[in-house]
């Protein structure tokens, strides 16, 4: 837990970021940082600005003012695709998987590898997709036996692992996870928490949005609390408690 040492340059820095929707200030002057191998939890009530913040980081929204720095360099994302190309991947609540396709096909969706059958005919390289799926999922400590099965055959936690696996395969350095445990049963939640620990051990940065303080305290290194678009506080998990976080969230 040496994550706030000034020596380690943050992977991602957000400086004085604001976002207005007309007269509504959804986010005001927000500053935060994520270091390699660090899990930062974003907490706050509904409408506190968590979603606006991650959408600004992942290129969905253009910030009204302020800047985003990736490994010390200012970046500007015109689209989520540009953010993804630079290694910022968002895992959405609804997982964004094509249920009828295999793990490999989901990992490669939109950038499928091809090979030449009989030396001329271009065909999908399913063997390569399956191989990559196997390796990537093993990296997340998730061993699948049926690589050709559609992902609809897997459980919620396993599907979450597939979505994370896709990000890992494409070498995402920063993973933004929006309520990754919300729709899952307790054993599955534990599995996802274990996955996040894996990502951390691999030196990736994770931004983790959750309503569940128990999950936050189980996995995060730091917590950033938002209230009505402004930062209400930032604490190291080891230095804080449930009570304090709740107080920061509701104000008072």
Partner 1 sequence: MQRIADLRAWLFLAFLILGFEIWSRLSFGGTFLFNPFNIQSIAIFAVAPLLLATGQTFVIISGGIDLSMGFIMGLASVVAAHVINWATPGMGFGLAVLFGGLVATLIATLPGAVNGFLVAFLKVPPFIGTLGMFGVARGVAFLLAGGTTVPVKNEVFAAVGNGKLFGVPYIIMVTAVFVVVMHYLLGQTKFGQHNYAIGANIQAARRAGINIKWHLLRLYILSGMCAGLAGVLYSARFSAGAAQAGEPLLLDSVAAVVIGGASLFGGSGTIFGTVAGAFVIAVIQYGLVFINVEPFWQFISVGVVIIISVLIDQAQRRFAGGRQSE
* Binding site residues, partner 1, CB under 8 A: 80-81, 84, 92, 94-101, 105, 109-112, 114, 117, 121-124, 150, 152-155
Kindly tell me which of 129 and 218 has the beta carbon lying closer to partner 1: 129
Find tokens 């929204």 and name the residue.
Answer: 61
Q: How far is the CB of 109 from partner 1 (least distance, A)?
A: 4
Residues 6+ apart with CB under 8 A from 41: 208, 209, 210, 216, 219, 220, 222, 223, 224, 237
Kindly tell me which of 175 and 249 has the beta carbon lying closer to partner 1: 175
Kindly tell me which of 166 and 204 has the beta carbon lying closer to partner 1: 166
Burial class (CB in 10 A: 0-12, 13-18, 19+), 150: middle
Kindly tell me which of 1 and 117 has the beta carbon lying closer to partner 1: 117
Q: How far is the CB of 80 from partner 1 (least distance, A)?
A: 7
Q: How far is the CB of 122 from partner 1 (least distance, A)?
A: 7
Q: How far is the CB of 98 from partner 1 (least distance, A)?
A: 4
Pairing of strands 39-44, 88-91: unpaired
Kindly tell me which of 1 and 149 has the beta carbon lying closer to partner 1: 149
Burial 109-137 (b: 16+ CB within 10 A, else e): eeeeeeeeeeeeeeeebbeebbebbbebb
Q: How far is the CB of 227 from partner 1 (least distance, A)?
A: 30
DSSP 8-state class, residue 202? T
Kindly tell me which of 109 and 194 has the beta carbon lying closer to partner 1: 109
Q: How far is the CB of 148 from partner 1 (least distance, A)?
A: 10
Residues 6+ apart with CB under 8 A from 106: 97, 98, 151, 162, 166
CA distances from 55 to 20, 59, 60, 84, 209 (A): 13, 6, 5, 12, 12
Structure token digits, residue 113: 């590898």
> Do the beta carbons of residue 224 and residue 248 sit within 8 Å?
no
Kindly tell me which of 92 and 217 has the beta carbon lying closer to partner 1: 92
Q: How far is the CB of 117 from partner 1 (least distance, A)?
A: 8
> Do the beta carbons of residue 76 and residue 143 sit within 8 Å?
no
């Amino acid at each position: 837990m040496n994550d706030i040492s000034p020596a380690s340059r943050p992977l991602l820095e957000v400086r004085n970021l604001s976002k207005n929707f007309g007269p509504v200030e959804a986010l005001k002057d927000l500053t935060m940082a994520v270091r390699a191998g660090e899990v930062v939890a974003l907490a706050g009530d509904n409408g506190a600005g968590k979603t606006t913040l991650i959408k600004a980081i992942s290129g969905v929204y253009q910030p009204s003012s302020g800047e985003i720095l990736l490994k010390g360099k200012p970046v500007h994302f015109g689209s989520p695709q540009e953010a993804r190309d630079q290694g910022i991947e968002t895992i959405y609540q609804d997982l964004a998987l094509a249920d009828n396709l295999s793990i490999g096909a989901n990992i490669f969706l939109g950038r499928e590898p091809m090979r030449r059958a009989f030396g001329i005919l271009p065909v999908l390289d399913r063997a390569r997709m399956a191989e990559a799926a196997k390796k990537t999922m093993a990296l997340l400590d998730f061993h699948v036996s049926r690589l050709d099965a559609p992902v609809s055959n897997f459980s919620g936690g396993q599907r979450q692992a597939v979505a994370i696996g896709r990000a890992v395969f494409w070498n995402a350095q920063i993973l933004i996870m929006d309520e990754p445990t919300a729709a899952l049963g307790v054993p599955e939640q534990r599995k996802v928490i274990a996955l996040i620990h894996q990502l951390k051990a691999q030196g990736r940065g994770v931004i983790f949005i959750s309503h569940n303080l128990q999950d936050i305290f189980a996995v995060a290194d730091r917590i950033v609390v938002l209230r009505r678009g402004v930062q209400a506080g930032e604490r190291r998990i080891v230095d804080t408690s449930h009570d304090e976080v709740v107080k920061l969230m509701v104000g008072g």
